Amino acid sequence: MADQFLEQLAALQIRLRKLVPTERWTDIARNAHDRAFVVAGAMKADLLHDLAKAVTKAIENGGTIEQFRQDFDRAVERSGWAYKGERNWRTRVIYSTNMSTTYAAGRLSQLRDPELQQVAPYWMYRHGGSADPRPEHLKWDKLVVRADNPWWRIHYPPNGWGCSCYVIAVSRASAERLGGRFEEPEATRPGDIDPGWDYAPGDNVSTEIRQLVQSKAISLPDTLAQAFSAAMLAQLAARLTEVK
């Protein structure tokens, strides 16, 4: 695991403790994603387990989207899942969303390290360099705001589907060298952030991520097995309730 981003794996492990069947992507909102693994429309526990395995494999081994799509196809074939949307679009959403949000959660944990914040108490917003940039995100490029400013709880990226923006920790001197703009951030306007993305991934689990990394307690297969058992029991209980 030496070449892996351990904080990202820890963020994923926390999610995998709870596999949540959902009908729509809005069934789980904002920071609830920090402690739950969901795929919109995946209602069967075994299907959700297979999709979680595919995402875990991609993040743990640095798998490509094409490799993920092969695992996705096998999971769909086993379950008979009639998912909505075109296959390449659907797989890209699942793959990129899980990749970007767990990565962001891992980075947030690093950025909040108390020792780092002593020497770099500011965060700088950086645009991801997309060939087709969002003007709303581009206007925040090189904006420097104190790390403890509540603005980050809404604007910490990603701030939408496919957003590749990121944050770096800086001192005042390093921010000035990089051309940072020390400005009071404006209030969020409608359209600045995609619906459902106005939160900081990992906000509620930053300390837990650092503890998992420091204690070397990252164990994705065991976590996933436990979550699968819990999901199966929950589905069984729901069926029994329906029968009654």
Q: Where are the domains of the chain?
A: 6-107+207-243, 110-182
pLDDT of 187: 83
d(CA 40, CA 146): 35
Supply the pLDDT for residue 1.
42
C-alpha dist (Å) from residue 171 to 90, 145, 235:
41, 11, 50
Nearest to 169 by CA among 198, 140, 146, 137: 146
Predicted local distance difference test score (pLDDT) of residue 16: 95
For residue 244, the model assigns a pLDDT of 44
Q: Two tokens at 166? A: 């990121």
Measured between alpha carbons, how far is 57 from 48 in angstroms, rounded to an integer?
14
| pLDDT at res. 239 | 52
Strand runs (DSSP E) across the chain, as ranges?
Answer: 122-126, 143-146, 166-170, 181-182
Sequence letter at residue 46? D
Ranges of residues in the chain with a pLDDT under 70 are 1-3, 233-244
Query: Phi and psi of 131, rounded to 5°?
Result: -70, -25
